[in-house]
């Protein structure tokens, strides 16, 4: 079975079949006819022929920092849905947070002749900047805003600004912030700047703010909250860079006999906690990962 024979059965041109197979523009009527012809005949395009013709395979490389993150899972699910709809496959690379592994994956995927790469939630380094500048493939970065690169990202600054403002409006004045590495321009730097701006706009200077930088996990939130309770037992508000951190902070507050929402206001980012599992309704910012 050839592409010409599929076209004849569908009553369209071979070019229309080619556009269908490669995710190009084609009318709904022709798309339906081609799909039906392919289903009836079991036609499968030759991968070798496609590579010889285009120099690429119908695969998109996706590089992620870790698989066990709710936000990574949401983004990956959305990418996979669109990729499959366009007739492509996804190749996944999990770096485990290793920055050099990102560069390794970039080079491996380029050698594998993928059609493009999605790089998720990364920290920029000089080595990575050089690797991206040398990349010959289409690239999209998600979760960060890097000048000169196509990026899809959230407004992390205002998300945390509004969260912090809500905490202040509850009458809280002794406020702590649990953040992450500020080399991460989104979750680290932009979210901290959002919290800081809200506090300063409401007359709370930076020098009176309790701040601890941890990791993207509940253990960091738990340990940071324990430190807060030791250094400032009168603390009445805590803003966390992520919901996962906030869950750990909530555990420490409960163990200390502090009632969340009454004694202490607690807020996080991501709308990713399981309310039934932790028995807590947490104030959070919902970051949308799909086109709504």
Can you point out the beta strands (E) in 72-113? Answer: 89-94
Please report the pLDDT score of residue 87 as a whole number: 80
Tens digits of residue pLDDT in 142-192: 999 998 999 999 999 999 999 999 999 999 999 999 999 999 999 999 999
Q: pLDDT of 71-126, one tens digit each?
A: 888 888 888 888 888 888 899 999 988 888 999 999 999 888 898 999 997 888 88
Nearest to 91 by CA among 111, 68, 71: 111
Predicted confidence at residue 45, as pLDDT, reads 66
At residue 48 the predicted structure's pLDDT band, cuts being 50, 70 and 90, is very low
pTM, entire model = 0.75
* Buried b or exposed e, range 216-233, using 16+ CB within 10 angstroms: bbbebbbbbbbbbbeeee
Task: State pLDDT tens for residues 210-225.
Answer: 999 999 899 999 999 9
């Amino acid at each position: 079975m050839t592409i010409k024979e599929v076209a004849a059965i569908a009553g369209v041109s071979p070019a229309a079949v080619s556009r269908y197979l490669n995710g190009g523009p084609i009318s709904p009527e022709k798309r339906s006819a081609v799909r039906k012809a392919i289903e009836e005949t079991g036609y499968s395009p030759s991968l070798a022929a496609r590579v010889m013709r285009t120099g690429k395979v119908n695969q998109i490389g996706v590089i992620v920092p870790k698989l066990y993150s709710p936000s990574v899972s949401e983004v990956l699910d959305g990418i996979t849905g669109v990729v499959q709809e366009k007739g492509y496959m996804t190749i996944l690379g999990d770096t485990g947070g290793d920055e050099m592994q990102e560069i390794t994956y970039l080079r491996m995927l380029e050698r594998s002749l993928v059609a493009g790469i999605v790089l998720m939630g990364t920290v920029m380094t000089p080595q990575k900047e050089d690797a991206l500048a040398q990349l010959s493939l289409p690239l999209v970065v998600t979760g960060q805003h890097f000048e000169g690169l196509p990026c899809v990202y959230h407004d992390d600054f205002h998300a945390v600004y509004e969260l912090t403002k809500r905490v202040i409006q509850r009458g809280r004045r002794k406020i702590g912030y649990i953040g992450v590495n500020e080399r991460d321009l989104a979750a680290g730097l932009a979210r901290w700047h959002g919290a800081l701006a809200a506090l300063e706009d409401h007359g709370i200077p930076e020098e009176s703010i309790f701040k601890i930088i941890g990791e993207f996990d509940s253990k960091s939130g738990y340990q940071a909250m324990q430190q807060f309770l030791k250094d400032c037992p009168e603390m009445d508000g805590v803003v966390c860079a992520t919901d996962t951190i906030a869950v750990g902070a909530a555990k420490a507050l409960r163990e200390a006999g502090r009632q969340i929402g009454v004694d202490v206001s607690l807020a996080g980012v991501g709308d990713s906690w399981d309310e039934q599992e932790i028995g807590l309704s947490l104030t959070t910012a919902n970051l949308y990962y799909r086109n709504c």
